[in-house]
Amino acid sequence: QKIVTGAVIKDIATGGESAIKVDAVFIAIGHTPTTSFLQGIVEFDDQHPGYAKTIGRSTKTSVDGIFAAGDVTDAIYRQAITSAGSGAAAALDAERWLSEEGLGNEAAEFEAELLAELMADDDPKESLRDSYNAYEDAGGRMEGMKESTRVEL
């Protein structure tokens, strides 16, 4: 059985190497965000080159209608789980922006159209004729008496 007992670390400034004792390691492969297509369009984070700058705690960028999330904005944590949460926030920000711009919610509009179509095809009198009535099935409603007392009679 192979187990981790140590690691060799390299000082990237001096090039020197040293061994340290450890029981476990967490490997981060690192990455460079693929944001070059946004150069000259949105602002970038001055402290972290290549990372898109967002406004406050939102996913809004310096350009109205462009949102950034996940690996292109997170220079600190760079984890799939934080990127997923950031992506969900960007989707909500984008949906809100589309609504504010009057571009609407296509799914809600489709649902409303479908419901209207279904209701237009439905004859209320016909649907009542075919519906099930438990009182009729039990012999009809008795006037002036609680339904529960009918069973006792």
User: What pLDDT shows up at residue 44?
Assistant: 97
pTM above threshold 0.75:
no
pLDDT digits (tens, 9 = 90+) for 101-132: 888 677 777 788 888 888 776 666 665 666 66
**Residues contacting 44, CB < 8 A, separation 6+:** 35, 38, 50, 51, 52, 53
Rounded Cα distance between 54 and 33, Å, is: 15
